[in-house]
């Protein structure tokens, strides 16, 4: 019997960081886009469900990453350390690991990557600033530095080899805001999925940097240079305004975490050891 032809856009999507906070959110939601979702992480991901492949992988292992990339159509690269940490750990997971991803993408002739970047690439802009993706990066810690590296590396692989990337500078993607800062950076799960859909299915994206954020009442980020993706946020932190009645009083005098967009990340990192 011949296999039934699939009408899904991709045969195989690779999701790195599948056991992470957002990886777990995306695991089920991206299944309509591919016959197979290949899930990868360094920790336990549970049992494979229908339409899934489980492939544990340490991103610092070059050979393992090249094996991981076989027969992949597109990559959602969410793997790595997602909070501030010491440089040695971040170097292995986020810097060396991202290099291995892009080199494997190049060798396997994968045409598009969605790179989970971060708002912490620009965390040292003030909360009174309104910035766009063409302004210089200003990381607020080693984690942010690693994401700056990933954005620069992805640009190189596009310029040199034509590998398209959408870098999503993720704001705060949680079920709801938990502090006044998140009233500005809130990025709902549904809006995250919609931005990924736009990033995957827009015919030509080149090298695009998009701020991942919902349609919140206050904004620090101008997404004009990602307008070709057609992303339109449907959700807003306004629904949670009753929980933070004083969130409009920003920044707060003598509080560095409200003076700069990076928030509490400015209190972490090597300078505070």
Domains and CATH numbers, the chain: 10-272 (3.40.50.720)
Residue 244: band (very low, low, confident or very high) from pLDDT cuts 50, 70, 90: confident
Across the chain, the runs of DSSP E, i.e. the strands, are 10-16, 34-40, 52-54, 74-77, 112-118, 131-132, 164-170, 207-212, 221-222
Strands 164-170 and 112-118: parallel
Sheet architecture: strand order including 74-77: 52-54, 34-40, 10-16, 74-77, 112-118, 164-170, 207-212
pLDDT for residue 64 is more than 90: yes
Tokens of 125: 């802009």
Our answer to whether residue 143 is catalytic in this structure is yes
More confident residue, 253 or 181: 181
Q: Exactly one of 102, 125, 143, 157 is catalytic; name it.
A: 143
Residue 273: band (very low, low, confident or very high) from pLDDT cuts 50, 70, 90: very low
pLDDT for residue 3 is more than 90: no
The pLDDT value recorded for residue 2 is 47
Average pLDDT over residues 229-255: 86
């Amino acid at each position: 019997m011949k296999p039934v032809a699939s009408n899904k856009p991709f045969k195989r999507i690779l999701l790195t960081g599948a056991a992470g906070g957002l990886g777990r959110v995306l695991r089920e939601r991206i299944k309509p886009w591919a016959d197979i979702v290949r899930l990868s992480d360094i920790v336990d991901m549970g049992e494979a469900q229908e339409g899934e492949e489980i492939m544990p992988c340490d991103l610092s292992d070059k050979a393992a990453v090249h094996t991981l990339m076989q027969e992949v159509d597109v990559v959602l690269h969410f793997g790595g350390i997602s909070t501030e940490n010491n440089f040695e750990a971040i170097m292995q997971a986020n810097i060396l690991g991202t290099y291995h991803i892009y080199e494997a993408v190049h060798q396997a002739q994968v045409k598009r990557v969605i790179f989970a970047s971060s708002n912490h690439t620009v965390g040292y802009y003030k909360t009174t600033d309104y910035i766009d993706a063409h302004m210089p990066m200003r990381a607020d810690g080693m984690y942010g530095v690693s994401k700056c590296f990933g954005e620069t590396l992805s640009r190189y692989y596009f310029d040199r080899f034509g590998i398209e990337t959408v870098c999503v500078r993720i704001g705060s993607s949680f079920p709801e805001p938990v502090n006044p800062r998140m009233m500005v950076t809130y990025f709902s799960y549904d809006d995250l999925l919609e931005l990924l859909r736009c990033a995957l299915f827009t015919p030509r994206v080149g090298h695009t940097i998009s701020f991942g954020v919902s349609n919140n009442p206050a904004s620090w980020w101008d997404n004009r240079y990602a307008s070709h993706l057609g992303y339109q946020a449907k959700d807003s932190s306004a629904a949670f305004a009753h929980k933070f009645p004083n969130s409009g009083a920003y920044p707060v005098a003598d509080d560095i975490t409200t003076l700069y967009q990076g928030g509490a990340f400015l209190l972490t990192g090597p300078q505070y050891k």
